[in-house]
């Protein structure tokens, strides 16, 4: 299924008109996008490094992951909403950008992994979980969100 019609529609939408015509609005939305990226990255780092036993060792890992997950959800919603608005300004350019598709693939993988695997696993008492399952989940989470961030940054250079 070719998503071109969606990008073509997005390029001619009201959202695109606003994003293209008002540089100030675009800049403010971009600021929210970057703040959300920092928040999401921070929550991933704190949560997963705690699971790996690197940081906050004196705080139970369940307390850390439960709290970071809440802010992760908020950051992800902010990222998607602001990201759609920003994409509208350059929709057709993004459609032809390889790194954009790499980022979208990583983002979809990350979301499925977090809500389908990481969160259900971490609902159990962490002390009773297989330590390798916890470690592998933390490493995979770090890797996939690093890939999302790096590909996102790379879009600007490609």
Partner 1 sequence: MSKPRLEKLSIVLSLAVIACAAWFWAGQIGNVLEMLSLLEG
Residue 89, C-beta contacts closer than 8 angstroms, at least 6 positions apart: 16, 19, 20, 26
Residue 21 contacts residue 27 (beta carbons within 8 Å): no
Using the rule CB under 8 A, is 128 a contact of partner 1?
A: yes
Using the rule CB under 8 A, is 133 a contact of partner 1?
A: yes
Residue 92, C-beta contacts closer than 8 angstroms, at least 6 positions apart: 7, 8, 11
Q: Which of 33, 50, 118, 126 binds partner 1 (CB under 8 A)?
A: 118
Rank residues 95 and 145 by Cβ distance to partner 1 and give the closer one: 145
Distance CA 61, CA 52 (A): 9
Using the rule CB under 8 A, is 104 a contact of partner 1?
A: no
Residue 111, C-beta contacts closer than 8 angstroms, at least 6 positions apart: 76
Q: Give min distance, CB of 118 to partner 1, in A.
A: 7
Q: Which of 89, 137, 152, 155 binds partner 1 (CB under 8 A)?
A: 137
Q: Give min distance, CB of 145 to partner 1, in A.
A: 10
Residue 90, C-beta contacts closer than 8 angstroms, at least 6 positions apart: none
Using the rule CB under 8 A, is 94 a contact of partner 1?
A: no
The contact set with partner 1 (CB under 8 A) reads: 102, 106, 109, 113, 117-118, 120-121, 124, 128-130, 132-133, 136-137, 139-140, 143-144, 147, 154, 157
């Amino acid at each position: 299924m070719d998503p071109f019609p969606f990008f073509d529609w997005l390029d001619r939408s009201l959202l695109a008109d606003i994003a293209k015509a008002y540089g100030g609005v675009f800049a403010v939305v971009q600021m929210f996008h970057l703040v959300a990226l920092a928040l999401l990255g921070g929550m991933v780092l704190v949560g997963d490094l705690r699971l790996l036993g690197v940081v906050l060792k004196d705080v139970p890992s369940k307390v850390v992951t439960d709290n970071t997950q809440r802010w992760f959800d908020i950051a992800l919603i902010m990222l998607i909403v602001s990201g759609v608005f920003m994409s509208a300004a350059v929709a057709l350019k993004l459609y032809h950008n390889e790194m954009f598709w790499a980022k979208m693939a990583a983002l979809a993988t990350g979301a499925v992994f977090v809500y389908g695997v990481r969160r259900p696993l971490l609902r159990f008492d962490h002390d009773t979980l297989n330590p390798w399952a916890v470690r592998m989940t933390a490493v995979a989470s770090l890797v996939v969100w690093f890939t999302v961030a790096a590909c996102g940054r790379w879009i600007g250079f490609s």
